[in-house]
Chains A and B, each alone.
Chain A
Amino acid sequence: MKKLPISQHILEIVSDAGEGAQKAGSIFAQTTAKMGNYLWTVELIPSEIQPPPHTTRSSSGIRIRFGSEPITNGGNLTNLIFVFNEMSLLARLEAHALAEEVIVFIDNQWASDPNPDIVRQYQQILAELSQRGADIYELALSQEVEPFTEDPQKGKNMFVLGVLGFLYQRDIDLLQACAAKAFSHKSAQVLASNRALIQAGYAWGQGQLDFCFSIPLLPHAAPMVTLNGNQALAYGAIAAGFELCSMYPITPASSVAHTLANIFEEFGGMVHQAEDEIAAIGVALGANYAGKPAFTVTSGPGMALKTEFMGLAVITETPLVVVDVQRGGPSTGLPTKIEQGDLLSSLFATPGDAPKVVLAASSIADCFHLMKTARTLAEELRILVILLSDSNLATGMQLFERPAISAISSSPPHAAEMESLPYHWDKLTGVPPRLIPGVSQKVGMTSSLNHSEAGLVRYDSLANEAAHQMRSHKLATLRKCLKPPAVLGEEEGDLLLIGWGSTKGAIAEAVQIARGNGLKVSHLHLVFLNPLPPRLKEIGAGFKKIVVVELNYQDVPGDPYTKDAPRLSQLALLLRSHTLLPIESFARVWGRAFMPQEILTQIEQEILALEAS
């Protein structure tokens, strides 16, 4: 038995939708985290619930990058893939996700399928892979599980979990415990059968394989938790003191509400599923107005519907948090895939001048902690806060330090001076007091029309200009409080990469490798997209070239048709206007995250071009 030492690996488990690859993967991930490895998972989700089986479109699975050192992104190409049929393998091959020397485990029942087309297809795909250099292990998965389950369709994933448990030398008792917990709502019979399947898979590995991996385990210094991004938003909302989540279901945002629906009432909270996204934000706004911290959570199409209410929140200066778990757009776009396409619409979609705070989570830890940041800013500044997440964070699992919380307060701050006028703006900060109906003694009007300090309608130029100025001052107030962003690497050099959101880890990893290779490249990550933090222009001026790396559209470089005036990506456009620096971009809408290797290649090309000029 060969024990191959590795420091990290990328593993994929891919099956037909409904065969439980994701479930097996998440149990594997839980076990792995508990044993002392770091990880980052990405779910591979088909858009339909039951797509035609045994096709590339029906493949559903999970990608797990894990290892001894902290892991900040999904990584490069897959090292080992376990597939339940050859079409899933083809799907991943076509997605360019697999390393050339990938280790493949595959159910070989298709090699003897009565349908000769399937047999041919199976052989072709395997031949192609082995030509590329893949190491292929075929196993009679369906037959192996037969003794343990009535429905092999349902049992294969647990057998696979056992095989992987052996391959990566996972603690079998811990693996069994995590599986039992994941199925704790199932019957004793199912639990027993799962147990036997995992055991059988592990034994199969022991008996049939002549190798396994060994990954150093380093116990974590502080207590850690593993959550996916939507769970983190939900628990973060509780920790932040929110008491109402008003929403309308939409992929990939819904599971924030699913998580809350199970537990929120114990905390005095409620999930309100409204009749549509418009009503959802309306209810959240009404609740905040009357003193209950409330937020709404949605994705692109829902954001579009909420714009008029966002304008109302801005002009009435009602504190409000809107969470946007971004997916591919426009319109229905790529509902289950990652994109960072809502940046500019978050800033500017509301007609009229509507200053608001926009911030973005880069990790699952951010998803948790930024909920509190968002609530605090919304209430302190009486402002609309948009928190951006994305579909990879939504379903991906990561480790972070268990938060320390000693008290969770839900009562909103309000005007100490209860006799004040509703819009008695602080002339400097622009922040008005907060009158809460039923709490404040003096009544006041809250108006969607332009209004005076007294909350009364004012149509005259001076009053309109004044109200706009005050609302804008609130953003300036926040900007003056923000620290300049930290630069990874030197504050001057050849190339500065700027990013935001969940691409942070991949960019940082690429930059670190490039720096290790002697390239003068640095990385700047933005949490606040509006207002932008100070010193961006000064930092940018220290570099020969600045490239924004983000997952949204820019005109394809080299396209002769758009070469005369290529459209820029979103943050590049924003930063150009903000800094007046000739910022460029490396932006793609591939429906998946960047791999560090792709960013590294881009860095190398940019630096070569700089040297050439």
Chain B
Amino acid sequence: MKTLHVDQFTAGYCPEEAGFTLERYAGEQPRWCKGCGDYAILVALEKLLALKKIPSNQVVCVSGIGCSSRFPYYLKTFGFHGIHGRALPISTGVKLANPKLTVVTVMGDGDCFSIGLGHWMHAVRYNPNLLVLVLDNEIYGLTKQQTSPTTPLGTKTKTTPKGPYIPPLNPLKLIMGATGVSFVAQTATWMPGHVSATLAKGMEHSGLSFIRILQRCPIFSPQAFGQGGKEREGFCFLTHEQGILLEDNLQNMAESLPHDPRDFSAAQALVQQTEDAEKGFTPLGLIFQALNRPSYEEVRFRSISHPSPEEKAELLLDKLKPFEI
């Protein structure tokens, strides 16, 4: 079995149970840089699939283009490495074809918030049942350090050597303003236990579970997120019995703030506060969850019939009757 860094927060987890081993979900040897935050997410997802005992041929991981989008190669499930910004339409198509598949969509911040922003907003509105992970390193990684929509003012990049000219886009505010939003959470790669718990919560949700993962990129944005929380205050765990439960050892890594994720207005107010970059307020946990919003495939499948091939032929000839002469 491949050696994997299993962090301290997963005590009690038995990978060998029922043959749903980590190895079963591990694909190629990842080729991300040393220290890249993406590793933590990969491990968290492998563990989650093992824990949920989802047969690997029932899982499809769809991605766009970017460092983050190499994700599907490193999982031993069905994988679809797509094109830049377009992972969400592909994922929606997969769900419309076979709603039973577990679909995980992985994108980078450029992928989702820049070139794919239109698809993102509409996917949120359609609400297909997808686990959507945006690995946000506040920079373009694969293309080597250009500015991203989420690059903070003052961060020098190759296309903005003096730092961006305009303030960054705030994805949380944007998604909380989108019609039909059903699940919004935020987590960070330097807290693998929290990533695991957030992914698990997202996978349980029926509908589009949007999880923004603050992702360390030691190569191109080492300073991001105050060096991964080391040099910055403002990180704050959202606590609530309906939210993401904190393991004991996480609790002293940041402040906590009680927040009811079922309360839409509270969630909107919360993301408003993240706008003030000076304050650096960064909530981690479940920001919003709407229950009972039907998924797009549910809505679409509800209204279709299932005729046999022969019935279809008969029905077609029937429909052509008015055009007969």
Which A residues fall within an 8 A CB radius of B?
30, 33-34, 181, 220, 223-227, 231, 235, 238-239, 241, 244, 246, 263, 265-270, 272, 274-276, 278-292, 294, 308-309, 311-312, 316, 399, 402-403, 405-410, 435, 437-438, 440-449, 456-457
Query: Which of A227, A290, A292, A402 gathers the greatest number of chain B CB atoms within 10 Å?
Result: A290
Chain A interface mostly: mixed
A239 to B305 alpha-carbon distance, docked (Å): 16
Kindly state the separation between the CA atoms of A409 and B90 in the bound complex, as whole angstroms. 24
Ranked nearest first, the 8 interchain pairs of A and B with the lowest CB-CB distance are A286-B93, A282-B89, A292-B97, A290-B97, A286-B90, A437-B78, A283-B93, A407-B309
A279 touches B119 (CB 8 A): yes
Contacts A446-B81, A448-B82; A266 near B307 (Cβ below 8 A) = yes
Shortest C-beta distance, A410 to chain B (Å), equals 8
Contacts of B92 in A (CB 8 A): 279, 282-283, 286
Q: Are B81 and A445 in contact (CB under 8 A)?
A: yes
* 28 A-B pairs (CB sep. < 8 Å): A225-B324, A226-B325, A227-B323, A238-B316, A241-B312, A268-B306, A270-B96, A279-B88, A279-B89, A280-B89, A282-B86, A282-B88, A285-B89, A285-B90, A286-B62, A287-B93, A289-B93, A290-B94, A292-B98, A405-B316, A407-B313, A408-B316, A435-B78, A437-B57, A437-B59, A441-B57, A445-B72, A445-B79
> Is the CB–CB distance between A244 and B96 below 8 Å?
yes
A240 to chain B, nearest CB (A): 11
Cα of A290 to Cα of B313 in the assembled complex, Å: 24
Asked whether A235 lies within 8 Å of B309 as measured between CB atoms, the reply is no
Residues from chain B with Cβ under 8 Å of A223 in the complex: 324
Interface presence of B218 (CB below 8 A)? no
B binding-site residues for A, Cβ under 8 Å: 27-28, 56-60, 62, 65, 72-73, 76-83, 86, 88-98, 100-101, 118-119, 122, 300, 303-307, 309-310, 312-313, 315-317, 319-320, 322-325
Q: List B contacts of A244 (CB < 8 A).
A: 93, 96-97
- The reply to whether B89 and A274 contact each other, CB–CB distance below 8 Å, is yes
Select which of B65, B101, B118, B303 is within 8 A of A290 by beta carbon: B101
A289 contact set on B, CB distance < 8 A: 80, 90, 93-94, 97
Rounded to whole angstroms, the CA-CA distance of A285 and B101 in the bound complex is 16
* Given A289-B94, A308-B83, also A267-B315 (CB < 8 A): yes
Q: How far is the CA of A444 from the CA of B80 in the complex (A)?
A: 9
Is the beta-carbon distance between A444 and B319 smaller than 8 angstroms? no
Inter-chain contacts of A268 with B (CB < 8 A): 304-307, 312
CB of B118 within 8 A of CB of A239, answer no
- Pick the residue among B56, B118, B304 that contacts A265 (CB under 8 A): B304
Q: Are A456 and B28 in contact (CB under 8 A)?
A: yes
Whole-angstrom CA separation of A29 from B100 in the bound complex = 48
Given known pairs A265-B304, A285-B93, the reply for A402 and B324 (CB within 8 Å) is: yes
CA distance A405 to B306 in the complex (A): 18
- From B101, which residue of chain A is reached at the shortest CB distance? A438
CA separation between A237 and B167, bound complex, in Å? 48
B312 → A minimal CB distance (Å): 4
CB-CB < 8 A to A403: which residues of B? Answer: 320
Would A275 and B122 count as touching, CB distance under 8 A? yes
Find out whether the CB atom of A290 lies under 8 angstroms from the CB atom of B305: no
Chain B residues, CB < 8 A from A410: 309
